[in-house]
Amino acid sequence: MKILVCVSNVPDTTTKITFTDNNTQFNTNGVQFILNPYDEIALSRAIELTDGGKGTVTVINVGDVSTEATIRKALAIGATDAVRINAKPHDAWFVAYQIAQYVKENPFDLILTGRESIDYNGSKVAGMLGELLDLPSVSIIKKLDAGDSDATVEREIEGGKEILTIPYPFVAGTAEGVAEPKIPNMRGIMSARTKPLTVIEPVEVKTFSEIISYETPAPRGQVTLVPADDTAKLVELLHAEARVI
Amino acid sequence: MSVLIYAENAGGKFKKSIFEAVSYARAIADQNNTSLTAISIGDVSADELAALGKYGAQKVLNVSGDKLKNFVNQAYASIIAEAAKKENADIVVLSNTFSGRGLAPRLGVKLEAGVADGAVALPEQNGGKFTVKKTAFSGKAFAVVELTSANKVIALVPNSYKVVETGGAAQVEDFAADTKASDFKALIKEIVRSTDKVSLPDAEIVVSAGRGLKGPENWGMVEELAQLLGAATACSKPVSDAGWRPHSEHVGQTGIAVSPNLYIAIGISGAIQHLAGISSSKVIVVINKDPEAPFFKVADYGIVGDAFEVVPKLIAAVKEYKASA
């Protein structure tokens, strides 16, 4: 089985998010970038499914040269090879379009993404790839069991789950539950340096969205503390003042 | 020009998040002096469909059929895109539900439309610019996105826009759209819906607990408090990682983002990753024995105390309040 895992390079989860240039640019000063945690889940499952010579795992990223540390991390975790499309990821459409062009030339049995990237949270690349390649897509899966000609996935729905079988090839966005994230070992880290990382140039495409500015959530007022033995007071405040119960 | 809203049903009924999305779509139609059509796919009664008029839909396109009873991502996207073309709709609105997040990107490609997922406010339209505020950095910030395409797809976050009743019943029409056999490759084997609990993404009140509870055996009081308040239960990442609670309850940066009216956090310290997932909650209550817990800095109300003493007392106080109300 040939699996493609789409990965993005995102700010570490502990990053305090700030902006510069009159709130029009994300402040990357001092920010550590990591492999998107949901993509790590996708990659870990892909490696499990192909373990023992049952297939290959290619990781693909749309990014400039600064993302190579993250791509090498994916190779260290266990991907077979990697592709970097040399362009800034303008938006989900741009990224999906570039990856779709690559997949048209290089077909895969299964294409995985994380359910969303933790920077822009769009959950869009999986669905857009599905549409561009005329393949089924399923966003936000919690479980993925691979059969010979199809896979069984569990999709999250509000207050429940849906179990589907989907024939290969298809696209899925993975969430927690699909796999435990793998940690690279020393052998993986050593071999990652020599695994193939192909750089290709992007194709031209019109884009449909631009980020104009950013805002941070409005600060909350001072906390009102209620004594531990006066829970009735808290209930009263939630009813009469906050009006939420 | 017109606006189309996809009214997603859950087991034949529309949830509050759909009435919010219809109200939101109505407001966008009003901004543009145009009409609002809703589309429903699946098995929904005529009365339920006509009721969408209450929130401002003038017309409802009803698509039914055996193969379309349950959500099929590809086929539903094809049908909604056809409806958009038929109605000459340049703006398509969805609710940012699990299914909505599957449909929005496919619709974006089909309609060559910019997609504003995770929208939290009405679009602003000034001098030919169409911008939408959306969540970014997993709740740590918002981004204002300009959609530069002629067609636009917007997915509204549940509980971020008020339901507005404008009165009136909608005219319901049957609508048949062409679908391809390849639209039906994904087959649903089973749908599991827990009916006895409030679903976390829909919940107006969330009772959440963390490692301060010491073990899964102590969740009884969390569930009791949630049940009394009609709330959903949630937890922090260490709790779901330890297997004390299912992953579907994990709220935070790498879990689910919620925006309830009331979020009650019990024994959760308030790490930056957890706060990201709850920052758009309207009112936050924190119960923690450590007065230095970072969660108190973002809380509206707080109790410094041991959860094992405070929560049973809070349950008693809520019972008393409910008995007197």
- CA B248 remoteness from chain centre: 15
Contact A36, A118 (CB under 8 A): yes
**pLDDT tens track for B208-235:** 999 999 999 999 999 999 999 999 999 9
Q: Are residues B20 and B130 in the same domain?
A: yes
Instruction: pLDDT band for B195, please (50, 70, 90 cuts).
Output: confident
- B192 in any annotated domain: no
Of A11, A134, A140, the CB nearest to B182: A134
With an 8 Å Cβ cutoff, is A232 touching chain B? Answer: yes
pLDDT of residue B87: 97
**pLDDT tens track for A108-120:** 999 999 999 999 9
pLDDT of residue B197: 82
Q: Are residues B170 and B213 in the same domain?
A: no
With an 8 Å Cβ cutoff, is A209 touching chain B? Answer: yes
Range of the domain at B244: 200-324
Instruction: pLDDT band for A59, please (50, 70, 90 cuts).
Output: very high
> How confident is the model over B159-174, as a mean pLDDT?
92
> How confident is the model over A67-91, as a mean pLDDT?
98
- B295 in any annotated domain: yes
Interface test with B, best of A13, A116, A170, A216 (most B CBs within 10 A): A13
Q: What percent of chain A has pLDDT over 70?
A: 100
pLDDT of residue B145: 98
Instruction: Kindly give the residue spans of alpha helices, DSSP state H, lying in B87-177.
Output: 98-110
Of B184, B219, B247, which residue constitutes the final position of a domain? B184
List of residues 6+ apart from B217 with CB closer than 8 A: none
**pLDDT tens track for A9-41:** 999 999 999 999 999 999 999 999 999 999 999
Of B123, B149, B184, which residue constitutes the final position of a domain? B184
Of A123, A176, A212, the CB nearest to B250: A176
- B282 in any annotated domain: yes
- Enumerate the residues of chain B whose CB falls inside 8 A of the CB of residue A96: 105, 109
Of A37, A139, A231, the CB nearest to B310: A231
- B255 in any annotated domain: yes
Instruction: pLDDT band for A220, please (50, 70, 90 cuts).
Output: confident
Q: Are residues B176 and B230 in the same domain?
A: no
Task: Indicate the residue type of B13.
Answer: K
Predicted confidence (pLDDT) at residue A169 exceeds the cutoff of 90: yes
**DSSP string spanning B39-79?**
EEESS--HHHHHGGGGGT-SEEEEE--GGGSS--HHHHHHH
Q: Which residues pair with A164 in a beta bridge?
A: A153, B188
- Which has the minimum average pLDDT: A192-206, B20-34, B93-107, B157-171? B157-171
pLDDT of residue B196: 75
pLDDT of residue B54: 97
Q: Are residues B253 and B146 in the same domain?
A: no
Predicted confidence (pLDDT) at residue B178 exceeds the cutoff of 90: no
Other Cβ atoms within 10 Å of B190 Cβ, number: 9
With an 8 Å Cβ cutoff, is B248 touching chain A? Answer: yes
Q: What percent of chain B has pLDDT over 70?
A: 100
* Domain at B142, CATH number: 3.40.50.620
Instruction: pLDDT band for A218, please (50, 70, 90 cuts).
Output: confident
Instruction: Look up the pTM and report it.
Output: 0.95
> How confident is the model over B250-267, as a mean pLDDT?
95
* Domain at B207, CATH number: 3.40.50.1220
Q: Are residues B282 and B139 in the same domain?
A: no
With an 8 Å Cβ cutoff, is A136 touching chain B? Answer: yes
What mean pLDDT, rounded, does chain A reach?
97
List of residues 6+ apart from B104 with CB closer than 8 A: A123, A124, A127, B94, B96, B115, B117, B153, B155
pLDDT of residue B108: 98
> How confident is the model over A161-186, as a mean pLDDT?
96
- B290 in any annotated domain: yes
pLDDT of residue A219: 86
Contact A144, A45 (CB under 8 A): yes
Q: Under an 8 A CB cutoff, do A127 and B103 touch?
A: yes
Q: Under an 8 A CB cutoff, do B193 and A211 touch?
A: no
Instruction: pLDDT band for B325, please (50, 70, 90 cuts).
Output: confident
With an 8 Å Cβ cutoff, is A100 touching chain B? Answer: no
Q: Are residues B21 and B134 in the same domain?
A: yes
Number of domains in chain B: 2
d(CA B114, CA A93): 8
**pLDDT tens track for B270-286:** 999 999 999 999 999 99
Other Cβ atoms within 10 Å of B168 Cβ, number: 14
- B101 in any annotated domain: yes
Which residues between 69 and 98 in chain B have a beta carbon less than 8 angstroms from any beta carbon of chain A?
70-71, 73-74, 77, 97-98
> How confident is the model over B304-322, as a mean pLDDT?
97
Domains recognised in chain A with CATH numbers: 2-217 (3.40.50.620)
Q: What percent of chain B has pLDDT over 90?
A: 93
Predicted confidence (pLDDT) at residue A86 exceeds the cutoff of 80: yes
Instruction: Kindly give the residue spans of alpha helices, DSSP state H, lying in A82-228.
Output: 92-105, 125-133, 186-192
